[in-house]
Amino acid sequence: MLPRHDQPIAAIATAPGRGAVGIVRVSGKGLAPLVQRICGRALKPREATYLPMRDAKGQPIDHGLALFFPGPHSYTGEDVLELQAHGGTVVLQLLLARCLEAAAELEDTGRACLPGLRLAQPGEFTERAFLNDKIDLAQAEAIADLIDASTEAAARSASRSLSGAFSQEIHTLRDALVRLRMLVEATLDFPEEDIDFLQQADASGQLERLHRSLDAVLARAHQGALLREGIKVVIAGQPNAGKSSLLNALAGAELAIVTEIAGTTRDKVQQTIQIEGVPLHVIDTAGLRESDDTVERIGISRAWDEIAAADAVLFLHDLTRQDQGDYRAGDDAIRATLAERLPAQVPVIDVWNKTDSAGAELQADGLRLSARTGDGLDALRRRLLEVAGWQSAPEGLYLARARHVEALQAVGQHLDMAAAQLRAAGPHLDLLAEELRLAQNALNAITGEFTSDDLLGVIFSSFCIGK
């Protein structure tokens, strides 16, 4: 544990701005003297007490509730004091300042009331909960995901992760992996024994079952990561194809300006929508064409930058102009550039707009819709979910992150290598044992039982102050 984790910390734990209630939180070892200074009395553990919260001169800053949670039975595993006052910015700042001031005041022994009390860094309360074994790393991340959830489905799934559903699946995989490692290590440790531990214990079958269980967890983690992060969908096409109208139709609001003038959209317009709880970050871009207008050229350049970073591209065509030679040449040029700039795995969905105005039949493959009337939008939504890889949400789905998916994929790679060693004639048991060890390390990195300080810094720095 780093030295700073021994220092007591304090912060305003509620969001900035006005509110009915605001909370100042203090966490550390030996908070009883500070509780006496701030509250004027000792507090019963885990019992809310209504009292005046006084400044250094004994004048009330506010009247509110004070709660004291002695460690280890607290959120952080340390002593925790929570002061619940009226949610004004000035009131909370005064309470926080009073906590810091009181901590430095000397007691009769000549020692500071709470030496070293400082402002908490982002996520430090939750980091201490992790370091003190109150939660594991996956649960800590679920707290931030629950706060940041943009859909009801994401919030419910984050809550399941926080309750330990995802961690339990990881622990089950790890326990099976440990049992398999034990067999391999036993064979390595007792080579003189006339017993084939691996064959008698069906090591090959255990490894196969472990891989199947991993595949099931990985599939759910993929769904959970999609529910958390969504996909970036860029609408591209020539001017006046109806890109802005399509964005407005998907969002259900007039977000982008729509006119008959080519080149109306000069910069990107972005909106996050949800389909079956999956967030889709939809971006409307400038019409793609050759232009002498400086501002429009900048918009077109930014459009291509967005397209290059997309998870999926909606290539929008104007059905009313499908027979015009210059329009078809423009679409062909865009398609050729898409093929050059996009990775092969990024899908390009052809969408033909303006079915409400077109008299001709569609002469190419693709979805047909009318952004103006909404006809065909449901089919497009289903196609976007299909492209994203979303399946109907299984019962008990938990939220996951990209790093969890990457770790599980690494586990699968090590298990593949282990299976290859096990199938080989005269297998190298030391290499088999090493692959299993690396697989376990990758699993442990998900829950934080094996991880680096650098990773912890990245994860907890994304939290809000006071959490």
Q: Between the CA of residue 237 and those of 273, 282, 335, what are the distances in Å?
A: 21, 14, 9
Contacts (Cβ under 8 Å, ≥6 apart) of 279 = 150, 151, 154, 227, 229, 230, 272, 273
C-alpha–C-alpha distance, residues 329 and 29, integer Å: 72
Alpha carbon distance 7, 29 (integer Å):
8
Residues 383 and 424 in one domain: no
Q: What is the CATH number of the domain that holds 152?
A: 1.20.120.430
Q: How far, in Å, CA of 348 to CA of 351, rounded?
A: 9
- Examine the domain organization and report whether 412 and 279 are in the same domain: no
Separation between Cα atoms, residue 353 and residue 238, nearest integer Å: 12
What's the CA gap between 443 and 170, in Å, rounded?
7
Q: Are residues 199 and 259 in the same domain?
A: no
Distance from C-alpha of 305 to C-alpha of 125, rounded to nearest angstrom: 39
Helix-helix angle 137-148:152-162, to 10 degrees: 160
Residues 300 and 312 in one domain: yes
457 located within any domain: no
Which whole number is the average pLDDT over 395-400? Answer: 75
Q: Do 159 and 117 reside in the same domain of the chain? A: no
Stretch 396-416: mean pLDDT, rounded?
Answer: 89
CATH number at residue 380: 3.40.50.300
- In contact, 177 and 436? CB cutoff 8 Å: yes
**How many Å apart are CA 413 and CA 419, to the nearest integer?**
10
Residue of higher predicted confidence among 212 and 463 = 212
Give the model's pLDDT for residue 186: 73
Residue-number span of the structural domain to which 357 is assigned: 230-388
> Pick from 180, 293, 170, 283: which is nearest to 236 by CA?
283
35 domain residue, yes or no = yes
Domain for residue 460, yes or no? no
pLDDT at 414 over 70: yes
CATH number of the domain at 109, please: 3.30.1360.120
Q: Is 245 in the same domain as 360?
A: yes
Kindly state whether residue 92 falls inside one of the protein's structural domains.
Answer: yes
Question: What count of residues does the chain have?
Answer: 467
What pLDDT band is residue 194 in, cutting at 50, 70 and 90? very low
Q: Would you say 306 and 284 are in contact if contact means Cβ atoms under 8 Å apart?
A: no
Question: Both 220 and 239 in a single domain?
Answer: no
Annotated binding site: 25, 82, 134, 240-245, 259-265, 284-287, 370-372, 467
List the beta bridge partners of residue 85: 22
256 pLDDT above the threshold of 80:
no
Which residue positions form the known binding site for (6S)-5-formyl-5,6,7,8-tetrahydrofolate?
Answer: 25, 82, 134, 467
Within this chain, do residues 277 and 364 fall inside the same structural domain, yes or no? yes
The answer to whether residue 453 is domain-embedded is no
Instruction: Answer yes or no: are the C-beta atoms of 283 and 274 closer than 8 Å.
Output: no
Instruction: Please indicate, yes or no, whether residues 302 and 372 belong to a single structural domain of this protein.
Output: yes
Could you tell me if 236 and 217 lie in one domain? no
Q: Judge whether 459 lies within some domain.
A: no
Cite the annotated binding site for Mg(2+) by residue number.
Answer: 244, 265
Tally of structural domains, the chain? 3
Can you say which residues are annotated as belonging to the binding site for GTP? 240-245, 259-265, 284-287, 370-372
At which of 87, 103, 135 does a domain end?
Answer: 135
Residue 129 shares a structural domain with residue 162:
no
Residue stretches of the annotated binding site for K(+): 240, 259, 261, 264
The answer to whether residue 216 sits within a structural domain is yes
| pLDDT, position 261 | 41
Whole-number pLDDT of residue 360: 54
Reported as half-sphere exposure (CB side, CA atoms, 13 A), residue 281 has a value of 14
Confidence band for 257, pLDDT divided at 50, 70 and 90: very low
- Cα 9 from Cα 6, distance rounded (Å): 9
Tokens encoding 211: 């891989």
pTM over 0.85: no
Q: In this predicted structure, what is the pLDDT of residue 394?
A: 58
Rounded to 5°, angle at Cα 303 from 297 and 401? 155
In a domain, residue 243? The reply is yes
425 or 264, which is more confident: 425
- CA gyration radius, the chain: 29
Q: Among candidates 49, 29, 37, which has minimal Cα distance to 132?
A: 29
Whether residue 367 sits in one domain with residue 239: yes
CA distances from 430 to 191, 416, 442 (A): 12, 16, 19
Distance CA 27, CA 430 (A): 47
- 44-60 pLDDT, tens per residue? 999 999 999 999 888 99
